[in-house]
Structure 1
Amino acid sequence: MRSVLFFVCICFLFVSTARAEGPYQFFDWEITYGSISPIGSLQQGILINGQFPGPKIECQTNENLIINVRNKLPDPFLLSWNGLQQRKNSWQDGVSGTNCPIPPGHNFTYRMQAKDQIGSFFYFPSLALHKAAGGFGAIRIDSRPMVPVPFPPPAGEYAVLIGDWYTTNHKSLQRMLDSGKELPRPDGVLINGKGGADVVDFAVEQGKTYRLRISNVGLQNTLNIQIQGHKMTLVEVEGTHTVQNAYASLDVHVGQSLSVLFTANRPAKDYRIVVSTRFTNATRLLSTAVVRYAGSSGPAPGPLPAGPGDDVDFSLNQARSIRTNLTASGPRPNPQGSYRYGSINVTRTIRLASSAGLVRGRRRYAVNGVSFAEADTPLKLADHYNISGVFRLGGIPDAPPPATAEEVRNETAVMDSDHRSFVEVVLENGEGGGVQSWHLDGYSVFVVGMDVGTWSKKSRDGYNLVDAVSRCTVQVYPRGWTAVLVALDNVGMWNMRSEVWARRYLGQQFYLRVYTPSHSFRDELPIPDNALLCGRAAGRHHSQ
């Protein structure tokens, strides 16, 4: 009965206030702990409506998503939406810098729109180490019927959520990090919430083509995916239609999403999908799923396909081969290549270098020498209500400090930026310990260059200024760099973070404030009337 009343109230609210921007979908999600056994041993997981992984979100460009989240955990909780740009609406981003946590026994209703977006994404719990317990699910945004897609409709589509996994309870993992220890090696790899041999079946019919929407929802490891006896044609990366290259295997770095087509053009048997870890300096972990042909006569002969090993050059060259399909439409009918990013003048260069160090004897990770310290009040609320002392604007410098400077310091630092500026960002991984992965909420960025070695101004000579792929999560190889261009056209407070979750939890993140003095609803939506107010913003009025 409660769910019925919720939907009636929400429907009435939005029918009365909607601006005819697209249809609405309504979801009512209950967040609980429950027993799961992804790789054999029983453990506590985070369930959404009793499901692990959580329910899929399937919508079209410009549809509105109204998601009521009822927190039945004994802990505060938030969901974030990896890849949804939340145009003009960082109020809905679902991270600690923009939203108050949902207290135990309470609810919060996210009001979002898939504005001018298509593609494959995912959602996940953003607080503490909740992500290590589940609570994640797939997001699929289809093109509107009027907008052409650069390939025939597939016979079927499957969401494929892959990720490394620990059998250790997420709170125990958090205590390890809090005590200064590093996380151990993961215990396995999951495919749609299950790990081991042949854990998931994907049914196909001979001669037909299928689409897999793949997201790496894990905590730290790059994963490689391949289909026994089949090639995969890459068609989309985080909302960008790509040049349709065929691959025997694909690296999917933590936090990344992509989609591929494959044709069931082999004899009618069972073929393995192999998902395995990369760049771990240890025995690779893997799990398999089954592509099961209708009328299959049994397993395909031969061994499982071997992974590409830890060859950085293989992965780097593959990444460089992923390019935008310039003639294909994106979320709108006009070609993706009509936005000529390479001819726009760069107004600012930002170099972001990762580092690790000790602060008061505890391990911390940093960006340009600054390790992010969580505040007692969401930064977006503090900015909105002009509450001083919550964060320091300009606390993140535009370049790494000199080697003689103090290595790491804790600070609630925010990088300021102007609305509509066009920025070059160079991500630098000088640590050499593994592949790093970076995500910027609210945006897609053009990945114009990446290499091993040291970035310099001369590196710009090799930038791809024509058909670089646009995506929201990018990798940086060991002792290497990745350069991106981004048009800062989305006002708000946006989380820039390492997707290697232990690093993010221990400070390798910051917030980018994209600011305009206009205070116009054309640039940013007002604070929601249901926004939770906490910390130093508690007791304020939404109309202030």
Structure 2
Amino acid sequence: MKPKIRLIASAIVVYVISVLLKVSVDAKSPQLFLDWTVSFSKRAPLGIAKQVIVINDQFPGPLLNATTNDVVNVNVHNNLTEPFLITWNGVQMRRNSWQDGVQGTNCPIMPGKNWTYSFQLKDQIGSFFYYPSLLLQKAAGGYGAIRVNSRNVIAIPFPMPRKEFDILIGDWYNVDHQELRARLDSGSWLPLPDGILINGLGPNQASFNFEPGATYRLRISNVGLKTTLNFRIQDHLMQLVETEGSYTAQRYYNSLDIHVGQSYSVLVTANNDSDSMSYYMVASARCIPRELSGVAIIRYSGFEGEPLSPLPQGPLLFDYIYSAEQALSIRWNLEASGPRPNPQGSYHYGSIDINRTVVLSNGVGLVNGKIRYTVNGVSFHYPDTPLKLADYFQLEDVFEPGIIPNMPDFRFPSLGTSVIDVLYRDYVQVVFHNPMPFLQTWHTDGYNFFVVGMGFGMWDVSKMATYNMVDAISRSTVQVYPFSWTAILIMLDNQGMWNLRSQDAERSYLGQELYIRVKGIGQDDPSTISPRDEDPIPQNALTCGRAIFA
């Protein structure tokens, strides 16, 4: 069949299937319709004006507040002077990597154009966020909070709080993102950040009103470019209850290390007697050679006075042992129900046979005379056509699975379009190895995974005897400490082309990422995949590169 005829025939089939699917989904699931306009606005969070990306003139952008099984439709109007995409950090779109919002799955929304994301939230609750995925635009803002609430028929494992607050913390640079991008393109590293923002505001500008005796849920996300932050509240304990879609064992913490891309929910009770008080909320930099803090104020009953005591102290800047011990203390709540009525602990992940082990080692080197970051020696290079479209239309020479080895082989750094092929329902062990003196964070789109082990030094198979195979936390973003390893187990039950990336924006921009292609057995032609296994190509799919002529 000729390519043009094949494309028309495929489009007809896709249209019929998508209409049938839409009828069945609409009949059962609530629809959420949002209209977002993305534009530049001059703002000065730290006193120096720069171009900030705002959504509906808001920075941070609007809250995406949805419930398990909702169908989310977000019409994005790009009023920037640059191409734009939004990715939904931690949100699991069952069978629908078409809506992932990264360069390997979506063509960009060009300036002056609009495009509607449409995806269903499946079997998920929790705290997440969205952000721009192209051109280092995250350094200019464009991010916002996501809540996925439980259905009314599913009990949450703690008393209903008086109110919920979304708290977005992150490092901030006073120069425009174009200048930071040019710096990376020229072969230089990013400088240290200029400060820390809380909800897009500088020190002492954000405030939260508490009533004495009431309990509040704080959904906290580190939306910054590259800096780990320690979060704490003066004279208040935080009860950790959820992270990235998993209810946790409910332990109390004085402070929490929140790495780039991670999200946590804590309960905080206003338990001090006086209603004429205020307290500091602090997010301070960790693991960088500069003391930086973002500061907000909690006010009891709207009290206007300033806190009387100094800022609460956090851990030492480079105390990795403290951070690692805290990370290992965060456990899955086995008795709580997640998005479904059965307890989280009814899924015995530790009894599943592992099909495959992949060891991913991050590195840095010179490629064509410029600094590039690598995974197993390969620095990811994007072709002109998104991998998802190239796969669907079976375009040759766009990417070649297998160019990245399963284990580091100490090759010289080189450019490549790294894709790992796996079969649907493979249960894979991934070990992140960090041989460098800088902390790393890694994220998988489309999936949560079990963080079963962490340790200093080199990983080998003997370390599997130390794994937590009972109540390891399930999440989508994990840290790897300097000269250390982190092991995860992941059930690849979500077909599609999914991004695995460094959450450090500098490192991912310079090549520290790859894609996982999850395929069904015998499904070599993606255009013939059943909609029961993966959603069909969207009717409004944007095309670019070689896909325009497919």
Q: Would you say same fold, with TM above 0.5?
A: yes
- Quote the residue 1:31 is aligned against: 38
Q: TM-score, normalised by structure 2?
A: 0.93
Query: Residue 230 of structure 1: CA displacement?
Result: 0.4
- Quote the residue 2:435 is aligned against: 430
Correspondences of 1:361-372 after superposition (within 5 Å): 361-372=369-380
1:87 aligns with 2:94: yes
1:54 aligns with 2:61: yes
Runs of 4+ with deviation above 2 angstroms: 12-21, 295-302
In 2, Cα distance between the equivalents of 1:85 and 1:35? 33
In 1, Cα distance between the equivalents of 2:391 and 2:26? 27
Query: Residue 16 of structure 1: CA displacement?
Result: 5.1
In the alignment, residue 343 of structure 2 is paired with which amino acid?
A: P
User: Which one of the candidate residues 191, 202, 206 is aligned to 2:212?
Assistant: 206
User: Which one of the candidate residues 243, 262, 269 is aligned to 1:263?
Assistant: 269
Q: Is the contact between residue 356 and residue 366 of structure 1 (CA under 8 Å) also seen in structure 2?
A: yes
Correspondences of 1:291-440 after superposition (within 5 Å): 291-294=298-301, 296=303, 298-309=305-316, 310-402=318-410, 405-406=411-412, 408-432=413-437, 434-440=438-444
State the identity as a percent.
54
- Quote the residue 1:533 is aligned against: 543
- Quote the residue 1:253 is aligned against: 259
Query: Residue 397 of structure 1: CA displacement?
Result: 1.0
Query: Residue 388 of structure 1: CA displacement?
Result: 0.4
In 2, Cα distance between the equivalents of 1:539 and 1:530? 16
1:236 aligns with 2:242: yes
Query: Residue 104 of structure 1: CA displacement?
Result: 1.0
Q: Please list the CA deviations of residues 482-533 of structure 1 after superposition, one character each: whole Å capped at 9, or x if unmatched.
A: 0000000000000000001010000000111011135221110100010001
In 2, Cα distance between the equivalents of 1:494 and 1:199? 38
- Quote the residue 1:224 is aligned against: 230
In the alignment, residue 206 of structure 1 is paired with which amino acid?
A: P
Q: Please list the CA deviations of residues 124-171 of structure 1 after superposition, one character each: whole Å capped at 9, or x if unmatched.
A: 000011110011000001101100111000001000000000011100
Query: Residue 435 of structure 1: CA displacement?
Result: 1.1
Query: Residue 302 of structure 1: CA displacement?
Result: 2.3
Q: Is the contact between residue 380 and residue 511 of structure 2 (CA under 8 Å) also seen in structure 1?
A: yes
In 1, Cα distance between the equivalents of 2:508 and 2:31? 33
1:110 aligns with 2:113: no
Q: Is the contact between residue 349 and residue 425 of structure 1 (CA under 8 Å) also seen in structure 2?
A: yes
SS for the counterpart of 1:382 is helix
- Quote the residue 2:9 is aligned against: none
- Quote the residue 1:183 is aligned against: 190
Q: Please list the CA deviations of residues 391-432 of structure 1 after superposition, one character each: whole Å capped at 9, or x if unmatched.
A: 111121110014xx32x1001121111110000000011011
Distance 1:30 1:17, change over 3 A: farther
In the alignment, residue 404 of structure 2 is paired with which amino acid?
A: I
Distance 1:15 1:439, change over 3 A: closer
In 2, Cα distance between the equivalents of 1:375 and 1:414? 12
In 2, Cα distance between the equivalents of 1:260 and 1:276? 18
- Quote the residue 2:5 is aligned against: none
Q: Is the contact between residue 211 and residue 301 of structure 2 (CA under 8 Å) also seen in structure 1?
A: yes
In 1, Cα distance between the equivalents of 2:83 and 2:543? 14
In 1, Cα distance between the equivalents of 2:108 and 2:162? 41
SS for the counterpart of 2:27 is coil
1:465 aligns with 2:469: yes
In 2, Cα distance between the equivalents of 1:393 and 1:356? 22
In 2, Cα distance between the equivalents of 1:520 and 1:56? 34
In the alignment, residue 419 of structure 2 is paired with which amino acid?
A: V
- Quote the residue 1:441 is aligned against: 445
Query: Residue 20 of structure 1: CA displacement?
Result: 2.8
Give the aligned length: 523
Q: Is the contact between residue 21 and residue 63 of structure 1 (CA under 8 Å) also seen in structure 2?
A: no
Distance 1:419 1:265, change over 3 A: same
Q: Is the contact between residue 423 and residue 486 of structure 1 (CA under 8 Å) also seen in structure 2?
A: yes
SS for the counterpart of 2:382 is coil
Q: Please list the CA deviations of residues 207-242 of structure 1 after superposition, one character each: whole Å capped at 9, or x if unmatched.
A: 010000000000000000000000000000000000
In 2, Cα distance between the equivalents of 1:298 and 1:40? 23
In 2, Cα distance between the equivalents of 1:226 and 1:392? 46
In 1, Cα distance between the equivalents of 2:361 and 2:398? 24
SS for the counterpart of 1:504 is helix
In the alignment, residue 230 of structure 1 is paired with which amino acid?
A: H
1:504 aligns with 2:508: yes
Distance 1:16 1:333, change over 3 A: closer
Q: Is the contact between residue 85 and residue 442 of structure 1 (CA under 8 Å) also seen in structure 2?
A: yes
In the alignment, residue 492 of structure 1 is paired with which amino acid?
A: G
In the alignment, residue 103 of structure 2 is paired with which amino acid?
A: S
Q: Please list the CA deviations of residues 337-370 of structure 1 after superposition, one character each: whole Å capped at 9, or x if unmatched.
A: 0000000000000000000000011000000000
In 2, Cα distance between the equivalents of 1:457 and 1:15? 47
In the alignment, residue 376 of structure 1 is paired with which amino acid?
A: D
In structure 2, list runs of 5 or more residues that go unmatched. 1-18, 524-528
In 2, Cα distance between the equivalents of 1:287 and 1:503? 24
Query: Residue 19 of structure 1: CA displacement?
Result: 4.6
In structure 1, list runs of 5 or more residues that go unmatched. 1-11
SS for the counterpart of 1:219 is coil
Q: Is the contact between residue 226 and residue 249 of structure 1 (CA under 8 Å) also seen in structure 2?
A: yes
Query: Residue 296 of structure 1: CA displacement?
Result: 3.4
Q: Is the contact between residue 450 and residue 489 of structure 2 (CA under 8 Å) also seen in structure 1?
A: yes
Query: Residue 18 of structure 1: CA displacement?
Result: 3.7
In the alignment, residue 529 of structure 1 is paired with which amino acid?
A: Q
SS for the counterpart of 1:315 is helix
Query: Residue 112 of structure 1: CA displacement?
Result: 1.2
In 2, Cα distance between the equivalents of 1:26 and 1:89? 18
